[in-house]
Amino acid sequence: MKTLAVIALKGGSGKTTVAAHLALAAHLRGLNALVVDIDPQRSVSDILSAREAAGPACVTAVGRNVPAAQFGALAEGRDLMIVDTPAGDVEGVGEALVVADHALLVARPTLIDLAGLARTLQVARRLKRPATVVVNQAPVPREGAEAPLVKRALKGLDYMQADRAPVILRARTVYQTALERGRSAEEMADRAAAAEVAALWDFVAGTMGMKAR
Ligand SMILES: Nc1ncnc2c1ncn2[C@@H]1O[C@H](COP(=O)(O)OP(=O)(O)O)[C@@H](O)[C@H]1O
Ligand SMILES: [Mg+2]
């Protein structure tokens, strides 16, 4: 079993959106995935319980119980455990990181998000956990050119020597509407969003050495 922590000290960057989509991606590829929701807002739990079809399992926990949840997941024969974490909670991020094989740091391409990201990255580096940044909610490129905001953010990430996922998730309404009913953008008609999710899944699965069943 592999464990992925989805983290960002900044709120609203898209942790829950990414965590839910990756759990659903695993499920859609025949893997047995569990989401551990340590955010008191219980967003990912609400999202996944709204799903009508079969889907990934989800449990809520407090940060200090993440290792216990991991033992449980191992015993249940899960393939993947994803921890969705709250914003602003260094301790919670730490609890998720210590059990994680990999951390996915989610950031919007804004100055405030990047400032928060620098701190999140520090925590991951201190705990010696491999961490990758995924830029989320970026504007769609116009005529193939990235918006100046995105270009600046990418430069900032280079400066921080942050590893970056090979895909940028764009601001697309389908990410919101799909999750209203616990579905993935991969299950919707918007092929652009589906391709982004699939590319992120391929990256995460490849990095953590996971195979589809
Ligand atoms: N790529 C995206 N495109 C459009 N809306 C998004 C995207 N990612 C997240 N959102 C929206 O942004 C808000 C914050 O996302 P959420 O996943 O809850 O962030 P976090 O868990 O980091 O607080 C939500 O309303 C969500 O639907
Ligand atoms: Mg959240």
Please give the average per-residue pLDDT across 88-113, as a whole number: 95
Torsion angle defined by CA atoms of residues 32, 38, 39 and 40, in that order, rounded to the nearest 10 degrees: 120
pLDDT value, residue 211:
76
15-73 pLDDT tens trace: 999 999 999 999 999 999 999 999 999 999 999 999 999 999 999 999 999 999 999 99
Out of 9, 10, 17, 35, give the residue to mutate to test ligand 1, the one with the largest number of ligand atoms within 8 Å of its CB: 17
Instruction: Specify the residue with its C-alpha closest to ligand 1, atom 27.
Output: 176
Reading across the β-sheet that carries 131-135, which strands appear in turn? 57-60, 33-37, 80-84, 2-7, 102-107, 131-135
pTM (two decimals)? 0.98
132-142 pLDDT tens trace: 999 999 999 99
Regarding the beta carbon of 172 and ligand 1, being less than 6 Å apart is answered yes
184 confidence band (pLDDT: 50, 70, 90): very high
Own/partner contacts of 57-65, CB < 8 Å, gap of 24 or more, are: 57/32, 57/33, 58/23, 58/34, 59/34, 59/35, 60/36, 61/36, 61/37, 62/38, 63/38, 63/89, 63/91, 63/92, 63/94, 63/95, 63/96, 64/95
- Is residue 170 within 8 A of residue 192, CB to CB? The reply is yes
212 confidence band (pLDDT: 50, 70, 90): low
Residue 175, pLDDT > 80, answer yes
Q: 10 Å Cβ neighbour count for 192?
A: 11
Reduced DSSP (H G I as helix, E B as strand, rest coil) percent helix, strand, coil of the chain, to 5: 45, 15, 35
Q: What is the mean pLDDT of the chain?
A: 96
- Is residue 117 within 8 A of residue 8, CB to CB? The reply is yes
Which atom of ligand 1 is least distant from the CA of 137?
Answer: 1
Residue 118, pLDDT > 90, answer yes
pLDDT value, residue 199:
98
Please give the average per-residue pLDDT across 101-128, as a whole number: 95
Regarding the beta carbon of 162 and ligand 1, being less than 6 Å apart is answered no
The amino acid sitting at 172 is R
Assign 12 to helix, strand or coil: coil
Domain 2-205 classification at class level:
alpha beta
DSSP annotation of 11 reads T
Regarding the beta carbon of 175 and ligand 1, being less than 6 Å apart is answered yes
